[in-house]
Amino acid sequence: MTAGTSVERMAMLVRSKALVDAAEGERRTVRGVDDQEKRLLARKSARARLRSQGVLGLMQFPVRVVGSASAPERQALAGSFVRT
């Protein structure tokens, strides 16, 4: 965020479809979009919307899952910054 923000505003951003699409666009799928060209467009659109709301970028953390299937342990690995 480029300026201070309220809890309500942060909650709105965290729940937004734009945040999900911007993050998932780095992977192979964007929810509900199958075509690669459409995925790229959805990702760019989502990032532009976040940027217009003052979000400079996203931190993405891969998650390592270890242990048994009934009680897996999840570990956040080194993250990377993705500009919006």
The residue extents of the domains of the chain are 7-83
Q: What is the pLDDT of residue 70?
A: 92
- Burial class from Cβ neighbours inside 10 Å (0-12, 13-18, 19+) for residue 22 reads buried
Mean pLDDT estimate for the chain: 83
Q: What is the pLDDT of residue 20?
A: 85
DSSP states along 35-61: SHHHHHHHHHHHHHHHHHTT--EEEE-
Q: What is the pLDDT of residue 3?
A: 65
Full-model pTM? 0.68
Dihedral angle computed from the Cα positions of residues 64, 74, 43 and 28, in that order, rounded to the nearest 10 degrees: 40
Alpha carbon distance 50, 23 (integer Å):
11
